[in-house]
Structure 1
Amino acid sequence: MNTLKYNLYYLESQFVGYPVVIRVTVFLITILAIIYLVSLLRIFFLARNRTKMDNREKEIQKKYEKKLKTILFSNENITPEEIRTKLGMNNETLKDWEKAYVSKLMIKLIRQNEKVEMNSN
């Protein structure tokens, strides 16, 4: 805390002789520069998270799309154990984000199938 106070007093002493307009301008420029840097960091992290989410979605789609199509659109009754076997998840559980992406993929596949059925009629 003492270091921060020292730096603030030092900065203030550098501009003591200047008019108020100059001091306010320097203060505003400093604040805007800090806001700019924080905004850049935020944009970077948002882009990184978006890329991570896209990669996860592609991974889930690649892993489960064909299997889910066969399960969702089959005419036979399938037990939960058979579904786990067909998906290759015998004793493993999905993480929360995996469950969300699998659910989204299922909804997407069902909607695509509905569009195909509507177009064929």
Structure 2
Amino acid sequence: MDYKIKHYKRPKQELVKQIVDTAKCLTTEWFTPDVLDEIKRDLLFHDVICIDVRGEVLSFLIFTSWEGAIQITLMGTKLDYRGKGLGSKLIEYLFVYVKKLGFNRVSLLTVD
């Protein structure tokens, strides 16, 4: 698969829509319906790393910084592309990026 990994700071609405569409297919399994609106608000302030193929977002990782640590707030992959290592690629990219910025702690926010 020929994909690109891109980092976006405060992404534009077109990209936010693609991320929301990707999350929408995961709402019954992983996310509550509220998450879709929350993504739109979060991306006004958070950054996102996406894997895309020909402009189509396949996987995303949303993150921010708080108290000197990077916080991964949400990530997801389209159903047809799960199990192909895309999430691992996003995590690897994030670790390299934030290490260059001087961060040495990354945490993942989860829900029960």
TM-score normalized by structure 2? 0.29
**Where is the strand percentage greater, Structure 1 or Structure 2?**
2
Structure with greater Cα Rg: 1
Could you say which structure has the higher helix fraction? Answer: 1
Q: Give the TM-score normalised by the residue count of structure 1.
A: 0.27
